[in-house]
């Protein structure tokens, strides 16, 4: 009901102010006669964006060129307002005061298509709701701004320890790699009052916010300075770079950021799908390395342009196509799977259906599938989500600037994106595709992906080993004891460990006085996780036991368990 009231207010505003309520997506036939050329990319790409292409052998292509400005000017001359330009789709977004403009624009010889995508007044509407996602295609994050969580604090990560340790990014952070030198473009709603909160002082004081832009209102101010109710972007940002010493540390605390607002929380229109594309193009041209976005689209207020599950193949929604193109340009794109699990829709949303990106699902604090996390596969049967991170009761920086919790794939996604930036800073020579491949190979169910968690929960410590072997091949095996469970145990125990090379490994179980109660030697494959089930333990007395994994170098890795 509240959404209907807001839309009614929007309608009244259209009646009382001069507005241009019709938004169109105009595609051009070609880029002929353009002043822009492939041979002079500095006219439309930053030096850092060009350097990325050079480093990874990515050619500057026709789709890098901006639309022909003569075509753009001819459309504007029809009495419409320009919103955004798209290099990748050779298109522009425009606003028009009435529907008569489209016919004359379509009649231009260089116009390929003209599509109505929004019928909404442009007057700003201030939301009075703390529920960011009341109409966000199921992105209904539960946010407890006042709650406090207590988790063992290690290396300044504080309350974020569990969600960071779960994916092994603490291993990378403890080596001193926290994304320094890497740039993350966050495509989101507004960013609350992040620029005023102590939790973000370290980011702003070092000049870590490199640029901001609001694609909804064509303005550099992306903050909600009025009442701090549009703060989804702020909470997402905190998962990566929030810093309250001793209480909370995000997993990419040294990364730099572009803060890009493409989402209008007061309504849902395909306009925002196009805005997302503009944000991705901004990220590419500015030279960002990672895109993180906790937005998703399935249905729209107009109804006529809503997506169906059949459209979730990565090739229909403009934002999905843009996410794939961003990956082709050398970026790692992390997108939320969505929060529609168990609903009538249930599946991932755009742009999470894109190919060659990391679509992130949610698990709980123990690593179990979170009931709300949207599921795969895509309609063309690709694995989705790709990976998963903690999204149920994730630790975050609350709207007021303290440590709180929130639930949603919106928070699993930046946790993953921050880890990606930190991992990349530890392995600066690898490409985005090599990095994404290593992340998936390190995941808990890489060999048997499913529709709930995809390849599973990554282990960035293992991914780091995999990437390091690309740049520094070695014949010294690296072994990591991932976990031993259940703990406490009764009749059986499962031991999971990783080996970088094919080697002989011995798994043993000792009681508290050093007696061996189980021992098994086996040859394990390279670059993979091995699971050993130790059964028949019901007859053992209660007490503390020690599990050991000894590798070919004589190194022994241990874990205590209790019966």
186-204, pLDDT tens digit by residue?
A: 999 999 999 999 999 999 9
Instruction: Transcribe 375-405 into DSSP letters.
Output: B---TT----S-EEEE-SSEEEE-TTSSEEE
Domain 142-471 has CATH 3.30.365.10: no
Q: Which of 324-338, 469-483, 528-542 has the lowest mean pLDDT?
A: 469-483
Distances 288 to 284, 291, 360, 361 between C-alpha atoms, Å: 6, 7, 20, 23
Q: Is 451 helix (H, G, I), strand (E, B) or coil?
A: coil
Give 300's pLDDT tier (boundaries 50, 70, 90): confident
pLDDT for res 326: 98
Q: Name the pairing type of β-strands 332-336 and 358-363.
A: parallel
pLDDT digits (tens, 9 = 90+) for 262-272: 988 766 776 78
User: What does the domain layout of the chain look like in residue ranges?
Assistant: 22-119, 142-471, 479-562
Task: Please say if the pLDDT value at position 479 is more than 60.
Answer: yes
pLDDT in tens, 426-462: 999 999 999 999 999 999 999 899 999 999 999 998 8
The per-residue pLDDT for 7 is 25
pTM: 0.81
Flag whether pLDDT at 13 surpasses 50.
Answer: no
Same fold, 142-471 and 479-562: no
Confidence of residue 474 (pLDDT cuts 50, 70, 90): low
For residue 290, the cross-strand partners are: 184, 332
Tokens of 467: 């990437």
pLDDT at 205: 97
- The residue with tokens 């050619």 is 59
The terminus-to-terminus CA distance of the chain in angstroms comes to: 54
CATH, domain 479-562, list 2.60.40.2550, 3.40.462.40, 2.60.320.10, 3.90.930.12: 2.60.40.2550
pLDDT at position 493 over 50: yes
Under the banding of pLDDT at 50, 70 and 90, the label for residue 130 is very low
Mean pLDDT score, 267-283: 86
Percent of the chain with pLDDT over 70: 87
Q: Do 231 and 191 contact (CB within 8 A), yes or no?
A: yes
- The enclosing H or E element of 25 equals strand 22-28
What pLDDT, on the 0 to 100 scale, is given for residue 305?
Answer: 73
Choice between 550 and 455, residue whose per-residue pLDDT is larger:
455
Q: Report pLDDT for 135.
A: 29
């Amino acid at each position: 009901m509240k959404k209907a009231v807001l839309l009614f207010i929007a309608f009244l505003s259209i009646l009382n102010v001069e507005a241009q309520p019709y938004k169109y997506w105009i595609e051009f036939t070609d880029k002929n006669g353009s002043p822009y050329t492939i041979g002079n990319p500095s006219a439309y790409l930053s030096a850092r964006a060009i350097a990325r292409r050079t480093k990874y052998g990515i050619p500057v292509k026709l789709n890098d060129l901006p639309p022909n400005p003569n075509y753009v000017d001819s459309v504007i001359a029809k009495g419409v307002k320009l919103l955004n330009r798209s290099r990748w789709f050779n298109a522009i977004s425009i606003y028009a005061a009435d529907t008569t403009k489209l016919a004359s624009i379509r009649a231009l010889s260089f116009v390929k298509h003209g599509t109505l995508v929004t019928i909404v007044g442009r007057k700003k509407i201030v939301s009075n709701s703390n529920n960011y996602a009341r109409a966000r295609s199921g992105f209904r994050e539960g946010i407890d701004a006042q709650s406090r969580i207590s988790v063992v604090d290690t290396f300044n990560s504080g309350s974020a320890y569990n969600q960071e340790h779960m994916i092994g990014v603490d291993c990378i952070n403890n080596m001193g790699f926290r994304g320094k030198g890497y740039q993350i473009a966050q495509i989101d709603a507004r960013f609350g009052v992040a620029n005023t909160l102590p939790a973000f002082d370290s980011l702003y004081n070092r000049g870590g916010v490199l640029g901001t832009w609001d694609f909804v209102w064509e303005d550099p101010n992306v903050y909600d300075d009025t009442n701090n109710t549009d703060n989804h972007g702020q909470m997402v940002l905190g998962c990566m770079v929030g810093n309250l010493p001793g209480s909370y540390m995000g997993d990419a605390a040294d990364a730099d950021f572009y803060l890009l607002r493409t989402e209008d929380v007061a309504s849902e229109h395909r306009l925002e799908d196009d805005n997302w594309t503009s944000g991705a193009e901004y990220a590419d041209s500015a030279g960002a390395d990672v895109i993180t976005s906790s937005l998703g689209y399935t249905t729209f207020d107009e109804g006529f342009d809503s997506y169906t599950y059949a459209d979730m193949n990565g090739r229909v929604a403009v934002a999905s196509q843009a996410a794939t193109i961003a990956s082709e340009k050398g970026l790692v794109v992390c997108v939320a799977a969505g929060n529609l699990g168990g609903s009538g829709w249930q599946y991932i949303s755009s742009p999470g259906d894109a190919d060659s990106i990391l679509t992130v699902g949610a698990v709980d604090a123990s690593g179990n599938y979170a009931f709300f996390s949207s599921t795969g596969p895509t309609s063309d049967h690709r694995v989705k989500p790709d990976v998963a991170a903690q999204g149920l009761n994730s630790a975050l920086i609350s709207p007021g600037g303290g440590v709180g919790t929130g639930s949603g794939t919106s928070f699993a996604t930046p946790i993953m994106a921050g880890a990606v930036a930190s991992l990349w800073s530890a392995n600066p020579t690898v490409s985005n595709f090599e990095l994404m491949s290593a992340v998936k190979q390190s995941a808990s169910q890489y060999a048997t992906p499913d529709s709930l968690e995809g390849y599973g929960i990554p282990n960035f410590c293992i991914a780091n080993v995999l990437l390091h072997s690309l740049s520094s091949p070695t014949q010294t095996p690296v072994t990591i004891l991932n976990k031993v469970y259940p703990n406490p145990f009764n009749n059986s125990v499962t031991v999971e460990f990783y080996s970088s090379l094919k080697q002989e490994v011995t798994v043993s179980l000792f009681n508290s006085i050093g007696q061996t109660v189980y021992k098994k030697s086996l040859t394990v494959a390279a670059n993979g996780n091995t699971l050993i089930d130790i059964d028949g333990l019901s007859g053992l007395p209660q007490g503390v036991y020690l599990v050991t994994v000894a590798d070919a170098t004589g190194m022994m890795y241990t874990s205590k368990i209790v019966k």
